[in-house]
Structure 1
Amino acid sequence: MTAVHVPGPTRRRTAGLWWLALTALAIAVFAPLPYLTHSLTQLADDNGELAANYAYRPHWVQAFLYTHIVAAGLALLLSPAQLSTRLRARAPRLHRGTGRVVLACITVGGIAGLVIAPVNLAGRIGTAGFGMLAVLWVTCAFLGLRTIRRGAIAEHRRWMYRAFAFTYAAVTLRLWLVVLTPLTGDFDRAYKIVPFLCWVPNLIVVELVLRSHRHPKIIPHVT
């Protein structure tokens, strides 16, 4: 007899994973698309508030912006698959290979995000909020890499769940803007609220989930 962990509610977990995957896919594909098909000046002329903030910045700032958009978008696109227990079990090599890409994208995207944080649209609160997001995002990725290299699989997963909380900020930021822009009556006002709101609740949810699974129930299972 061996002991196995009792999984949580399968339907709830599956529905949650599908929600994360579909919303991540939508943002990862459609959010970067305008920046990859139009210039910043074109987007600014079409009343793109974010693009207008970067349209006349130095070229190196624009380069870091595009680097952040592409790297963060790819990390967001690939990360939900890394959360799948079934995929990890059935295709461990794919999980490891995708994981390396995700970690590289988080590192590049986080560093680029940190560089452009001081010139964000939200001002000082944006510099603080997005700057902390970038630092914590890269830190969790680094700790996830360090723990898996020494074989601490459970600890590795915990750090990567935290990293996903920061990766998913790209989705929650836009969801909050959809809610807050009509409430505040102005995109700029709404944007000044989201630098912390886009990631702090995500991290709280992940920490609560990790805490609830710290001591899972164990039942005997005959092998």
Structure 2
Amino acid sequence: MTSTLNAPPTSPPRPAQAWWRRPWIVPLMFAVAAFLSFSVPPYLTFDPANSRLEPPPGNDLYYPFLVAHVLLGTVCMTTACFQVWPAFRTKHRRGHRITGRIYVFTVIPAALLGLYIGWYTSAGPSVRVANLVGPTLWLLFTVAAFRMARQRRYDEHRRWMSRSFALAMSIAFSRVINIPAMIILTPRVDESFGGNEQLMENTAVSIGVWLSPLLLLVFTDWLLERRKPRPNARRAAGTPTAGAAR
């Protein structure tokens, strides 16, 4: 007879909560829609003159790679919202898996294109390094999340996917940080930047691209630790301990 004492304990699925019990999901989707409606349309014309980033002279690959990166990033940000939506994840598991695969296999080319675009930034070396570190971590976190899902290690999958989501949203949050950074630095352009406004703007951009992913990753890990079930809570729920499984 096969013993089931050592089988991993299974916990009953958590009931789905109505969207209004998760008040952050609607503002999140609204913020993503607002950011995309502002950022994406100039690239739908496929005209380099409408680009928010000036292509480097003589680089014919930059603009098509930039357009592809923007369009792929749009898919990433949209599908990521469904990945972190608890009600959708619980009620529509097949939809969660489909959007998850779309997200993962869109992140890969989007991150690689981001590395190329980031290398040719005109905002200075600090922004260039941030633009290389960010897509690299985004790619690694996403691949780690995918591997955990394939191995059915769903708790670890959720943690890595949450970090990947944080980096996906960091581009939008960096734009928010740039506003107070510009407000604070503008009066100091003569004192701190020798009257060089371009240097001041590059510094503000650098603050945004470094601080945005850092704050979002710290906040994400704080939430993950806060929501981690405590040993006492697991025992109260009837989950067998290591000693009881022997």
TM-score, scaled relative to structure 2? 0.77
Find the partner of 1:200 among 182, 200, 214. Answer: 214
Could you tell me the percent identity over the aligned residues?
A: 21
Q: Structure 1 residue 121: deviation in Å?
A: 3.0
Whether 2:117 is the aligned partner of 1:103: answer no
Amino acid in the other structure paired with 1:98:
T
TM-score, with structure 1 as normaliser: 0.84
CA RMSD of aligned residues (A): 2.7
- CA 1:141–1:13 in structure 2 vs 1: closer, same or farther (change >3 Å)? farther
Q: 1:51 aligns with which of 50, 53, 57?
A: 53
Q: Give the number of the structure whose alpha-carbon radius of gyration is greater.
A: 2
Offset of residue 30 of structure 1: 2.4
2:39 is matched by which residue type in structure 1?
A
Structure 1 partner of 2:195: none
List alignment gaps of at least 5 residues for structure 2.
Answer: 1-9, 187-199, 239-246
User: Partner residue of 1:47?
Assistant: none
1:44-193 matched pairs, under 5 angstroms = 50-52=52-54, 54=55, 56-185=57-186, 187-193=201-207
2:30 aligned partner: 22
- 1:176 is paired with a residue whose SS is helix
- Which segment drifts farther, 115-124 or 145-154? 115-124
Q: Which runs of 5+ in 1 are unaligned?
A: 44-49
Q: Higher relative contact order by CA 8 Å / sep ≥ 6: 1 or 2?
A: 1
Q: Give me the whole-angstrom Cα distance separating, in 2, the residues matched to 1:206 and 1:148.
A: 19
C-alpha contact (below 8 Å) 1:28/1:77 kept by paired residues: no
The one-letter amino acid paired with 1:153 is Y
CA distance in structure 1 between the partners assigned to 2:20 and 2:227 by the alignment: 15
Larger mean CA deviation between 105-114 and 10-19 belongs to 10-19
Partner of 2:49: 41
Higher helix share: 1
- Matched residue type, 2:210: F
Structure 2 counterpart of 1:46: none
Deviation at 1:5, TM superposition (A): 9.4
